[in-house]
A and B are shown apart, each in its own frame.
Chain A
Amino acid sequence: MRNPQLNGDGELQHLLTLEGLPAPVIDRILDTALPFVSIAERDVKKVPLLRGKTVFNLFFENSTRTRTTFEIAAKRLSADVINLNIGVSSTSKGETLLDTIDNLVAMNADMFVVRHAQSGAAHLIAQHLSATERPHIHVINAGDGRHAHPTQGLLDLFTIRHYKKEFHGLTVAIVGDLLHSRVARSLIHGLTTLGTTEVRVIGPQTLLPAAVESMGVRVFHDMRAGLGGADVVVMLRLQSERMKGALLPSAGEYFKHYGLTVEKLALAKPDAIVMHPGPMNRGVEIDSAVADGAHSVILPQVTFGIAVRMAVMSMLAAN
């Protein structure tokens, strides 16, 4: 099965998932992102790499934060950015997802940044563009259902590389709601591809998907055991609706078992870093003392996120 996001030369055509993305491609994205971090520190935060290009931020699911980071990234690359918050209303008006895409293609879009509540939505769009022979248009998956959030995964990898230099020898623990998390899926694929020594997932059975160990991770239900000797701790956001549907009894009990406190973090390596994709639920999955503490790299993640998205956009535009 051909990887739908690589073109015939093995170059990035779309960014849909980190699964199956070769390590050299991931490395190149991370390397490309490096200089973009320093651009953000300059007075003039703009480069002309996407000048004359039109980027559509297509958000079928609301997310001000992710949309904003993509918007900033595109604007710093000098692209014209159009934000469309489509929500669920347009599909209920009868226009299908692909109709929407075709209309925007007719407006000469060069790149789509797509957020959608359904797993596979970005793949569907990429396949449609390929089937209708419009290979010059690129798709970036900004989160599809529970499936993937590759730019988040890349910024997490960038952050880990920034603080830990190498993936070999690292133990990374991902804690919380793996079942619903596209962030976790993307990060796991990235970490295993780059040769991380041990990737652990920690959570109750109700929040771990079936056969999750097949993704190359070690499963822990006991957070204290799972954090033992970890170099990196990634906390996942717990949506409040998980208390419904019998997945969890209460936020309080969840915090007791799986919330990250200073005391639990002490079980990890002394120089462990703590990450979170945001937005955080303080007191649910993470204690404020940890979120704001010395181990936390949560805010640098946000800064790196813009650089990584600039790197992805500029590489796609060049291919």
Chain B
Amino acid sequence: MNIEIRNGRLIDPRHGVDSKTALFVSAGRIAAVGGAPAGWRANRIIDAAGCVVCPGLIDLAARLREPGFEYMATLESEMDAAIAGGVTSLACPPDTDPALDEPGLVEMLKHRARSLNQAHVYPVGALTVGLKGENLTEMGELTEAGCVAFSHADAPLADTQVLRRALQYAATFDYRVWLRPQDAYLARGGVAHDGEVATRLGLASIPASAEIIALDTILALATETGARVHIARLSTHEGVARVRAAKRAGLKLTCDVAVHHVHLCDIDIGWFDAQCHLVPPLRGVRDRDALRAGLADGTIDAICSDHAPVDDDSKQLPFAEAEPGAIGLELLLPLTLKWAHEARIALPAALARITTEPARVLGIDAGHLGPGAAADICIVALDEAWTVTRETLKSQGKNTPFLGLELAGRVRHTLVDGQVVYESAARREGA
């Protein structure tokens, strides 16, 4: 199958490409950029006039809810959501039921994902058995089964001895460890940022110090053990400052932020909007601005969707009792574009945060469009506006604070391994 994508604005952050350039895809890979390879005959030509052609998005945190939470979402529904959002690779956290702590579970997930033939799925294994924070998982076996990193998802890991040993063990074999910094004790029972909004609404709060203390602990242990650590879901301005300082001091460290936290803060909770019950909690305006600045200067490497589909029954509860989380696979691209537009970030630099950089965090050869690379491609109409509604979303979860909002940037085509796996409905009718 030979596909030619022409007339589009090709943006490949890794190779510094940003120009109106044709792309030639053959046998699942990028055959050529610019000029056609010798003897080229296209089976299909995609006219990308008015669109940006970029690497498929790479999402560092997308919950597919299998196994265990099929009432919230299934692999089928969420993989549909992924490709509709231009996401061609995604890492799924281990907070399933049971947790991803056994090779069999990981193999099953990989197998199920492969059979759907859509986005690539990269499981993140549990760092401790059952995410209980006590015993290490068989990281070697899990790596062989397909885990690309190990994390504790949102489960508390209070025992610093266990954390230190987990990092030592992982460092021995150079496994990647992803950690969300949150002190288990300070966060206990809290559902909102410790500030004016939580005070007004009478919500139990999580102080910024919960992130700062955990981050300091992680940074000290990462320095000591030499483990390859990735900081997940930064939320406070103090956290951004610490990661910035640690990177300047030479610590090999990567870091991400959830796309919701780039746009929202605790004020958006309004009158107890449970769609804004997120983990970590939405913090103050100053924190959100610091996260944006951290993204702009590279302190924060990647933006992830932190996709968490939740069924209506689990969300339509009083704020604290509502299941936390929001969906984001279909919003990652438009919300990143919105940030780029508002913060005046050049498009290639913004797209790098959801393509090149997360690929580097994952350690996979993806997120670029050099000749020979896997043809994972996203074609997006930047100016096409659409409204986020329950009907326009493919994810089984309809839980997002952005319901009703009009966003610019609609995915027209998504290609995975050179196959067109998604075409927007409007486009198909016109073709």
Could you list which residues of chain A lie within 8 angstroms of chain B, going by C-beta atoms?
A: 1, 4, 19, 96-98, 116, 118-121, 123-124, 127-128, 144-148, 182, 185, 209-212, 214-215
A119 contacts B202, C-beta separation under 8 Å = yes
B200 A96 Cβ-Cβ under 8 A:
no
CA distance A210 to B201 in the complex (A): 12
A146 — which chain B residues lie within 8 A by C-beta? 202-204
Given contacts A1-B271, A182-B202, A210-B207, is CB(A128)–CB(B321) below 8 Å? no
- The answer to whether the Cβ of B70 comes within 8 Å of any Cβ in the partner chain is no
Cα distance A144–B203 in the bound complex, in angstroms: 11
Given known A118-B319, A119-B320, A123-B271, contact A210–B198 (CB-CB < 8 A): yes
> Are A214's CB and B318's CB within 8 A?
no
Q: Which of A116, A119, A127 contacts B203 (CB 8 A)?
A: A119
Give the residues in chain A near B317, CB-CB below 8 Å. Answer: 96-97, 118, 124
In angstroms, Cα B99 to Cα A158, docked, is 56
Q: Give B contacts to A, CB under 8 Å.
A: 194-196, 198-205, 207, 270-272, 313, 316-321
Pairs across A and B, CB under 8 Å, 17 listed? A4-B271, A96-B316, A120-B201, A120-B271, A120-B272, A120-B318, A120-B320, A145-B202, A145-B203, A147-B201, A147-B203, A209-B198, A209-B199, A210-B195, A210-B205, A211-B199, A215-B199
- Residues of the A chain whose Cβ atoms lie less than 8 Å from the Cβ of B320: 118-120, 145
In the complex, which residues of chain A have a beta carbon less than 8 angstroms from the beta carbon of B319?
Answer: 118-120
Partner of B318, one of A118, A148, A185: A118
Give chain A nearest CB distance to B72 CB in angstroms: 15
11 new A-B contacts at CB < 8 Å, known A119-B201, A120-B201 = A98-B316, A118-B319, A119-B203, A120-B318, A124-B317, A145-B203, A146-B202, A146-B203, A148-B202, A209-B199, A211-B196
Q: Are B316 and A147 in contact (CB under 8 A)?
A: no
Q: Which residues of A contact B313 (CB under 8 A)?
A: 96
**Bound Cα distance A147, B197 (Å):** 11
- A1–B200 alpha-carbon span in the complex (Å): 15
Complex: A147 Cα to B200 Cα, angstroms: 7
Q: What A residues does B203 contact at CB under 8 A?
A: 119-120, 145-147
CA distance A102 to B396 in the complex (A): 25
Ordered nearest first, which 6 A-B pairs have the shortest CB separation?
Answer: A146-B202, A120-B272, A147-B202, A118-B318, A209-B199, A119-B202
Chain B residue contacts of A1, Cβ below 8 A: 270-271
Q: In whole angstroms, what is the CA distance A116 to B196 when docked?
A: 22
* CA distance in complex: A97, B320 (Å): 13
Residue on B with the closest CB to A182? B202
Distance (whole angstroms) from the CB of A131 to the closest CB of chain B:
10
Q: Are B199 and A124 in contact (CB under 8 A)?
A: no
Q: How far is the CA of A215 from the CA of B199 in the complex (A)?
A: 9
Query: Is the CB–CB distance between A97 and B198 below 8 Å?
Result: no
State how many angstroms separate the Cβ of B85 from the closest Cβ of chain A. Answer: 27
B200 x A185 contact (CB < 8 A): yes
CA distance A83 to B302 in the complex (A): 54
Q: Say how far A118's CB is from chain B's closest CB, in angstroms.
A: 3
Bound complex: CA A210 to CA B202 (Å): 11
Residues of B within 8 A of A96 (CB): 313, 316-317
Give the distance in Å from the alpha carbon of A80 to the alpha carbon of B203 in the complex.
Answer: 34
Checking B195, B202, B272 against A211 with a beta-carbon cut-off of 8 angstroms, the contacting residue is B195
Within 8 Å CB of B201, what residues of A?
119-120, 147
Most buried by A among B205, B207, B321: B321
Give chain A nearest CB distance to B192 CB in angstroms: 10
Cα(A211)–Cα(B203), bound, Å: 13
Q: Give the distance in Å from the alpha carbon of A210 to the alpha carbon of B196 in the complex.
A: 7
Residues of B within 8 A of A128 (CB): 316
How far is A4 from B319 in the complex, measured between Cα atoms in Å? 16
Given known pairs A119-B203, A210-B198, A210-B207, the reply for A124 and B318 (CB within 8 Å) is yes
Rounded to whole Å, the gap between the CB of B71 and the closest CB of chain A is 13
**Chain A residue, CB-CB nearest to B272:** A120
Residue with the highest number of chain B CB atoms closer than 10 Å, among A96, A97, A121, A210 = A210
Query: Complex Cα distance A98/B316, Å?
Result: 8
**In chain B, what residue has the closest Cβ to A211?**
B196
Q: Give the chain A neighbours of B318 by CB distance below 8 A.
A: 97, 116, 118-121, 124, 144-145
Q: How far is the CA of A96 from the CA of B315 in the complex (A)?
A: 11
**A145 CB → nearest B CB, Å:** 5
In Å, the complex CA distance between A135 and B272 comes to 20
Q: Most B CB atoms within 10 A — which of A19, A116, A120, A185?
A: A120
Chain A residues, Cβ within 8 Å of B202: 119, 144-148, 182, 185
Write out the residue numbers on chain B whose beta carbons fall within 8 Å of the beta carbon of A120: 201, 203, 271-272, 318-320
Q: Which residue of A lies closest to B204 (CB)?
A: A146
A210 to B207, CA, bound (A): 9
**Residue among B195, B203, B318, B319 with the most chain A CB within 10 A?**
B318
Least Cβ distance of A215 to chain B in Å? 7
Q: How far is the CB of A214 from chain B (nearest CB, A)?
A: 4
A210, B200: Cβ atoms closer than 8 Å: no
User: Is A210 a contact of B316 with CB atoms below 8 Å?
Assistant: no
Shortest distance from the beta carbon of A106 to any chain B beta carbon, whole Å: 18
Residue of B nearest to A127 (CB): B271
Check B272 against A210 for contact (C-beta < 8 Å): no
Report A-chain residues with C-beta under 8 Å of the C-beta of B200.
19, 185, 214-215
Q: Which residues of B contact A182 (CB under 8 A)?
A: 202
**Distance from B21 Cβ to chain A, minimum over Cβ atoms (Å):** 46
Q: Which residues of B contact A97 (CB under 8 A)?
A: 317-318
